[in-house]
Structure 1
Amino acid sequence: MSVSSSSTATTPAPTRRANLPSLTGLRFFAALLVFFFHASLMDSPIPPNAPINPFADDGVAGFFTTAFSKAGYMGVSFFFVLSGFVLAWASRPGERLTSFWRRRVFKIFPNHLVVFAASMLLFAGAAVTSVGDWLPNMLLIHTFFPQPSINLSVNPPSWSLGSEFLFYMLFPLLMVGIRRIAEKRLWLWSGLMVAGMVGVQLVTRFLIPATPKSAITPISDLQFWFGYLFPPARVFEFALGILLARIVLAGRWPRRIGFGVSLVLSVLGYAAALVAPFEYGFVVATIIPVAALICSVASGDVEGRETWLRSRPMVWLGEVSFGFYLVQGVTIFYLRSLLGESTYSVPVAVLVVIGFFAVSLLGGWLLYRYVETPAMRRWSRARKRPAAVTAPETAPETAPETAPVPAPVSATIPAQATAHHDSLAQRPSTPVRG
């Protein structure tokens, strides 16, 4: 069945699309992968690139670093695909661009600016003295610059928000085109997106200069920028997420590829990332497992399956995962700097990592509770003007309406990354919102 090219024709869908609480819970594990990646680093992204890994035993330290050396890359790729999936799931034809972009801006910028300020106060302000280094970061355009002093400045994990910001700007245009793809061709187009990701890494490996080498990776700074940080190179993942949402909505996701199979694929993909050439560990080795995880979990929610991922604790962790993601870098890099270059016995080092996690989780909750939620409540929608009063002497006074309060936490699925990180919340008259 093909989808009409008119702007109002979409894949047939139920009047009320299912909420996806299990995907909310799954998001936290993606953020946790990024946390362990940063906690295990031998070379911090913050100059002077001192080790973060707290283990004194060389064998244990090496295992910790190797085991999580691809975790951050997989976690970020998950957020990028999820962003496209969530926005497509929530999308309805006819929404005003200004309304869509307004919600997206107020989803990411308040948290980002608070963590940006904290980073500048704690450590970045002493190292990033040029306006040309920190201003692009504040505006989330820093990853369009190839210089590491700009694209990884202030709060290094915020680089992914630069890609998310581009995704949000492109989504309305991408959605118009993807709505027109016939259902029978959705898998073909998904394959083309994966091919695009492979193409990016082929260019990175063979066409981008391999010298001078990066201080924190085995490839050059320019290769790392183009293959991993450059926002246009990551659009393939976002577009794949949109296509996958249509596949699930159309009932074309294979039921035999469930959560268990997806976990096995994830282990195999991660193992492949560990042994593949460095560039292919960014996205290519793990993209199929990431897609399978998102689709299998979403399909389970659509079918109403009860899973531990949709439990209240997991949904709460998913809700705070955006804030957790943003602050975990600041927490790890700053607290580790207070400890100097000291390393510790295994029990003490484990406690150090647990301490990093506890402070990061607290910071993520504080951002969610006191920054993200109030900002979305207050500014994500324009306030309605009061109705015109034609007979003031007899008509009752009409006060301006306040912005609608978002749905309860259990009815939402924030993204991001992203993350890089979007919400599906109930509306009284429509299924979900992006």
Structure 2
Amino acid sequence: MAPSNATSRLPSLTGMRFLAALLVFSVHGAAAGVFKDQGVAADYYRWFGNAGAVGVSFFFMLSGFVLTWSVRPADTVRGFWRRRLLKIFPNHLVTFVVAIVLLTVTSTAVAFPETLANLFLVHAWVPDSGYVETANTVSWSLSVELLFYLSFPLLIKGVSRIAPAVLWYAAGGVVLVIMLMPLIAQMLLPDTPGFMFMKISWTQIWFVYVFPVARLLEFVLGMLLARIVLSGRWIGLGVIPPALLTIAAYVGAVLIDHNPLYNYVAITVVPLALLIPAAAASDAEGRESLLSKRPMVWLGEISFAFYCVHYLILIYGHRLFGSDPNIFGKPSGPAWSTPGGLLFLAAALVVSVLAAWALYAIVERPVMRRWGRPPGPRRTEQAAVRPERAAEARAAH
């Protein structure tokens, strides 16, 4: 494993993790179908239907960034893999079991090959929506993350050998490939049958959004961005401009008619690629922000657990408290007025945070404290990546 000069924590990026998780929550709130007024439901989906894709893209890019930022010379490939598997599998296994229990209680058929693939986190490799939409649906992204973790020891060797003067060109090249992925999907894959109401096929969506190899590009981009900051090549951009650019790109995607394949990654990849290193550089220089305050950092720390539990709470909470009778003998389906639907989403958010807190405190944190400690001394103080350290950082890389 290649060395890293980063010793500072990244509290703002930790806080941003929860905001990204909220974006994913918002789109699954649309998927739950809680609004009785179809016009309201359509507007909600129009504005939040792509929010989850932005959140997931942020997480994938952030994974590459943070792992490169924090890698240590004393680490081994086996130790790295052990820690990463311990990070994702305990939460996954708990929520997988909960999902199977809920499916059984609701007399929903459990498809054997799809569910087995979900259990072992290999289901994102299959271009079939049935493999993604099984058990705890959100776990498809963990299947993608698994590829990131398995390939990181090899990728870091290559990324570490890139000369600092070339890093921006390498990052630009990766961005270009990411932006070409929707075009490749259009040219090489059939656009029929259309998926849901869109004029694109599930196969095309899978290739751009789910296929682990395609999403590996964002992971590599995050790695390159970390090296840019570490080597003193960051352009000094603050957090506000890329944050506004991200919002503008998202709103533009909602308002402008275009191929929806570009919504999944391409439209917001550049703003996110500027936002993450901007926040990291701010943290490294010791600047405080609302995102770096303890409440947001705590929410960021439980964000993975939140991601794992929120979909089950939204979907099965809706089935339990909706309006049309179901096998619970309770209501289900699009049930509420607009205030009622918003109240349900707010309640589901609170319950998701509480459930995430419990999962984090009972499962994730104890496992990582017991078996997930990296080698070497613990970090006890922050050290900024300042211009005077740029030569040292370049020499190390």
The match for 2:223 among 239, 242, 254 is 242
Is 1:23 aligned to residue 7 of structure 2? no
Q: SS of the residue aligned with 1:285?
A: helix
Structure 1 partner of 2:156: 175
The CA deviation at 1:87 is: 0.1
| Contact 2:11/2:283 (<8 A) preserved | yes
The CA deviation at 1:58 is: 3.4
Q: SS of the residue aligned with 1:286?
A: helix
Give, as a single letter, the amino acid of the residue that structure 1 aligns with 2:306.
F
Is 1:96 aligned to residue 46 of structure 2? no
Structure 2: distance between partners of 1:342 and 1:151: 23
The match for 1:117 among 97, 107, 117 is 97
Structure 2: distance between partners of 1:106 and 1:236: 24
Structure 2: distance between partners of 1:178 and 1:219: 35
Counterparts in 2 of 1:19-418, with a 5 A limit? Answer: 19-41=9-31, 52-123=32-103, 126-215=107-196, 218-255=199-236, 257-274=237-254, 275=256, 276-338=258-320, 339=322, 340-380=332-372
Relative to 1, partners in 2 of residues 1:361 and 1:407: Cα closer, same or farther, differing over 3 Å? Answer: farther
Give, as a single letter, the amino acid of the residue that structure 2 aligns with 1:289.
P
Structure 1: distance between partners of 2:92 and 2:199: 29
Structure 1: distance between partners of 2:366 and 2:379: 13
Bigger mean CA offset, 58-67 vs 303-312: 58-67
Give, as a single letter, the amino acid of the residue that structure 1 aligns with 2:368.
M
Q: SS of the residue aligned with 1:258?
A: coil
| Contact 1:36/1:68 (<8 A) preserved | yes
| Contact 2:191/2:199 (<8 A) preserved | no
| Contact 1:377/1:405 (<8 A) preserved | no
The CA deviation at 1:40 is: 1.4
Cα deviation, 1:9-46, whole Å, max 9, x if unaligned, reads x67x3xx62111111011100000000011013xxxxx
Give, as a single letter, the amino acid of the residue that structure 1 aligns with 2:82.
R
Greater Rg over alpha carbons, structure: 1
Relative to 1, partners in 2 of residues 1:239 and 1:214: Cα closer, same or farther, differing over 3 Å? Answer: same
The CA deviation at 1:137 is: 0.4
Q: SS of the residue aligned with 1:40?
A: helix
Q: SS of the residue aligned with 1:373?
A: helix
Number of residues paired by the alignment? 369
Give, as a single letter, the amino acid of the residue that structure 2 aligns with 1:279.
L
The CA deviation at 1:292 is: 1.4
| Contact 2:74/2:376 (<8 A) preserved | no
Q: TM-score, normalised by structure 2?
A: 0.88
Give, as a single letter, the amino acid of the residue that structure 2 aligns with 1:147.
D
Q: Report percent identity of matched pairs.
A: 43
Bigger mean CA offset, 169-178 vs 336-345: 336-345
Q: SS of the residue aligned with 1:53?
A: coil
Structure 1: distance between partners of 2:267 and 2:229: 23
| Contact 2:33/2:334 (<8 A) preserved | no
Bigger mean CA offset, 268-277 vs 296-305: 268-277
Relative to 1, partners in 2 of residues 1:407 and 1:332: Cα closer, same or farther, differing over 3 Å? Answer: farther
The CA deviation at 1:69 is: 1.3
Q: SS of the residue aligned with 2:267?
A: coil
Give, as a single letter, the amino acid of the residue that structure 1 aligns with 2:21.
A
Structure 2: distance between partners of 1:379 and 1:128: 36
Structure 2: distance between partners of 1:58 and 1:238: 38
| Contact 1:262/1:293 (<8 A) preserved | yes
Relative to 1, partners in 2 of residues 1:60 and 1:131: Cα closer, same or farther, differing over 3 Å? Answer: closer
Cα deviation, 1:319-378, whole Å, max 9, x if unaligned, reads 010010111111111112221124322222211111111111111111111010111122
| Contact 2:68/2:156 (<8 A) preserved | yes
| Contact 1:377/1:406 (<8 A) preserved | no
RMSD: 2.3
Relative to 1, partners in 2 of residues 1:296 and 1:327: Cα closer, same or farther, differing over 3 Å? Answer: same
Structure 2: distance between partners of 1:248 and 1:78: 17
The CA deviation at 1:309 is: 0.8
Higher percent of residues as helix: 2
| Contact 1:53/1:65 (<8 A) preserved | no
Q: SS of the residue aligned with 1:293?
A: helix
Cα deviation, 1:199-230, whole Å, max 9, x if unaligned, reads 32212122111112224754212112111111
Structure 2: distance between partners of 1:404 and 1:180: 23
Give, as a single letter, the amino acid of the residue that structure 1 aligns with 2:10.
L
| Contact 2:229/2:281 (<8 A) preserved | yes
The CA deviation at 1:94 is: 4.8
Relative to 1, partners in 2 of residues 1:192 and 1:136: Cα closer, same or farther, differing over 3 Å? Answer: same
Structure 1: distance between partners of 2:311 and 2:355: 11
Bigger mean CA offset, 121-130 vs 170-179: 121-130
